[in-house]
Amino acid sequence: MTKVKTVFFDVKDYEEQYLLENKPEECDFLLIKDTFSDVVKDAEIISVFTSSKVPSEMLKNMPNLKLIATRSTGFNNVDLEYCKNAGIQVVNVPRYGEVTVAEFAFALLLNLTRKVSQAYEELKEGKISLQGSIGMDLLGKTIGIIGTGAIGCYVAKIAHGFGMKILSYDPFPREDIKEKYEVQYTTLDELLKNSDIISLHAPSTKENFHMINDDSFSKMKNGVIIINTARGEIMDTGALYKALKSGKVAGAGLDVLECEDIIVREELYLTKIDCVNKECLENTLINHKLLDMPNVIVTPHIAFDSKEAITRILNTTLDNIRGYLKGEIIHNVY
């Protein structure tokens, strides 16, 4: 029996053995470390990570393609409109790391509120300043959670444990967390106005593009702290930079950035700079400014990156592929 050609892109060293040991018998796996390309034109199934862009221009060169399995919850890197019209199924991993990402969001938050990185850098330089290390307790502070999917709900659970007041905004409120974690749903404007800390957990959609912008920052408390472990496109990078410079925002913990792939692959993009649009070039310049700010912590999109979460991602992806082979799409995006 001819095996189903299945190509995994963005494959990390720690994924290789697990994928090969657990692959469906019906599949012939090809594991590629590079991001997505149409190099394997006869693949029936491909699997990509968030670092891969999957545009229609490349998909058109893959006539046998029937399934795209993203190894992530987000799927904004895939041209869904083309896939719908071409009859290509797209599946994702809807739940794998609510605990993992929520814990990381609080790692960023505590780093900022207790000035951990700042104190560490000063200590390395032989500077010890109790005055400069004065932080802030979370007890009694108001956290605004934008988006109460699986991750946002777990953020609420942790915040409740810290004794924080919790405001949330989501078009689809979760009744179960209102009483359990004392969550108060409100409008976005009221959340912006009343939160000491704002944590973003909304998906990247056309509607949510630059949800946090100049107007949003103008409504926030002075000295607010921003945490973003969702997607960079949700927040206007230029607006954030201005808010940080003015002092409106006291600190920001960012695991995601707009156009973050350019920073990760700067050498590559420098060889094809004409392919980068003006907005991404501007955002990249601002991102470098953010990296130099002492009240900003930037991490390279690693909030998901725990051993347990990676195993869950791979298991769900393999289950999605098995489901497709049986004619039972499990976690289809549309």
CATH number at residue 112: 3.40.50.720
Q: Does residue 21 register a pLDDT over 70?
A: yes
Q: 274 and 289, same structural domain?
A: yes
Q: 124 and 178, same structural domain?
A: yes
Q: Which residue has the higher pLDDT, 275 or 178?
A: 178
105 occurs within a structural domain: yes
Q: Does residue 268 register a pLDDT over 70?
A: no
Q: Does residue 120 register a pLDDT over 60?
A: yes
Q: Does residue 305 register a pLDDT over 60?
A: yes
Using the structure block, give the residue that is written with the tokens 């359990």.
Answer: 180
301 is catalytic: yes
131 occurs within a structural domain: yes
- Any residues with CB less than 8 A from the CB of 81 and at least 6 apart, and which? 56
334 occurs within a structural domain: no
Options 71, 174, 201, 301, the catalytic residue? 301
Options 44, 231, 233, 331, the catalytic residue? 231
330 occurs within a structural domain: no
50 occurs within a structural domain: yes
- pLDDT for 272 equals 59
333 occurs within a structural domain: no
What is the pTM assigned to this prediction? 0.85
Mean pLDDT over 57-70 rounds to 95
Return d(Cα 132, Cα 19) in angstroms, integer. 48
| CA neighbor of 224 nearest in space, from 101, 98, 112, 87 | 112
Q: Does residue 271 register a pLDDT over 60?
A: no
23-37 confidence digits (pLDDT tens):
999 999 999 998 888
How high is the mean pLDDT of the chain?
A: 93
Q: 245 and 183, same structural domain?
A: yes
Options 15, 44, 258, 260, the catalytic residue? 260
- pLDDT for 276 equals 66
Q: 27 and 62, same structural domain?
A: yes
Mean pLDDT over 208-226 rounds to 98
Q: 136 and 37, same structural domain?
A: no
Mean pLDDT over 271-300 rounds to 85
270 occurs within a structural domain: yes
260 is catalytic: yes
Percent of the chain with pLDDT over 90: 78
Q: Which residue has the higher pLDDT, 259 or 197?
A: 197
- pLDDT for 131 equals 82
228 occurs within a structural domain: yes
* Residue 55: half-sphere exposure toward Cβ, Cα within 13 Å: 4
**Beta bridge partner(s), residue 251:** 225
Q: 190 and 264, same structural domain?
A: yes
133-189 confidence digits (pLDDT tens):
899 999 999 999 999 999 999 999 999 999 999 999 999 999 999 999 999 999 999
Using the structure block, give the residue that is written with the tokens 């988006």.
Answer: 147
- Any residues with CB less than 8 A from the CB of 126 and at least 6 apart, and which? none
Q: 167 and 44, same structural domain?
A: no
Q: 277 and 138, same structural domain?
A: yes
Residues spanned by the domain of 148: 98-298
Q: Is 71 helix (H, G, I), strand (E, B) or coil?
A: coil
Q: 136 and 77, same structural domain?
A: no
Q: 114 and 91, same structural domain?
A: no
Q: 129 and 67, same structural domain?
A: no
Q: 222 and 129, same structural domain?
A: yes
Residues 213 and 226 sit within 8 Å (Cβ to Cβ): no
Q: No. of H helices and E strands in the chain?
A: 14, 12
For the chain, the domain total comes to 2
Q: Which residue has the higher pLDDT, 135 or 1?
A: 135
